Structure 1
């Protein structure tokens, strides 16, 4: 045997030495006996959204911008926050709403204006439907006339 053949045999793998066997996962066999047919199968299904703990709503009335972090912590902890900004000057109120808008965006939530100085910040576990801002604008226009 030449040196060249020895090197070739050293670096090549013979397919005859190895036997390839495909195995099916055992999980499929275990799942089959548990499957039910017909109507009973749908009755045993429980939505994971309904299993979540009860939702809480927090009412906040900040007096300064420094309280925005505490309010944001409520939203991050999956609690809805009703925010009354009547006791804060306009500049600080705008900063608080901007800060909370970023927080709500980060948790895939929603923020809606409820009144002229009232907002609702809701995380993604709270579903908000409807809108009242159209009615508020009409009411503001009505009040301006009188």
Structure 2
């Protein structure tokens, strides 16, 4: 019907009349067999829910304190692996550029937050990172806040 409207509008003459019985000669369509439901594809576990994420292991007799003196940004992965294995880590940034050290500290803060651990500044360039199963007693330096500033206002 729309084509007839446009044909008349533009002055095109249609020789073939439009009829309702245009499709009468054909056989009625047969019903196709009902589709067989296919099993839903299994989900791959490539994405891990936060609730299923790795949590710091429970305390055991083999807990260690690792000493790390990073030289490049890639050494931050080693620090985080120690934390994920349930070990505390003392990190000395004395031999590293301050900007790169800051990036590693941010990386360590994210990892300790993810495992409900703690990160504390021991000295100007020395930090202690502990998983959840470690308890730190005593206070040598202020704990880092979430904005990266300690109580003295130093940024690290």
Runs of 4+ in structure 1 off by over 3 angstroms are none
Determine if the alignment matches structure 1 residue 110 to structure 2 residue 156.
no
Aligned-residue offset at 1:53: 2.5
1:93 partner SS: helix
Residue 66 of structure 1 is matched in structure 2 by: 74
Could you say what secondary structure the match of 2:74 adopts?
Answer: helix
Residue number in structure 1 paired with 2:24: none
Aligned residues: 87
Deviation at residue 130 of structure 1 after TM alignment = 2.1
**1:129 corresponds to:** 137
1:99 and 1:130 mapped to 2: Cα distance? 25
CA deviations on 1:7-60 (whole Å, 9 max, x unpaired) are xxxxxxxxxxxxxxxxxxxxxxxxxxxxxxxxxxxxxxxxxx77x233100000
Aligned to 2:106: 98
Answering whether residue 127 of structure 2 is matched by residue 83 of structure 1, we say no
Query: Deviation string for 1:74-131 (max 9, x for gaps)?
Result: 0011000000001110000000000000000111110000001000000011111221
Q: For residues 113 and 76 of structure 2, what CA distance do their matches in structure 1 show?
A: 15
TM-score by length of 1: 0.56
Q: Which has more radius of gyration? A: 2
Distance 1:106 1:129 in 2: 22
The equivalent residue for 1:56 is 64
Secondary structure of 2:133 counterpart: coil
TM-score of the superposition, structure 2-length normalised? 0.52
- Gapped runs of 5+ residues in structure 2? 1-57, 143-150
Structure 1 residues not aligned, in runs of 5+ = 1-48, 139-146
What is aligned with 2:54?
Answer: none
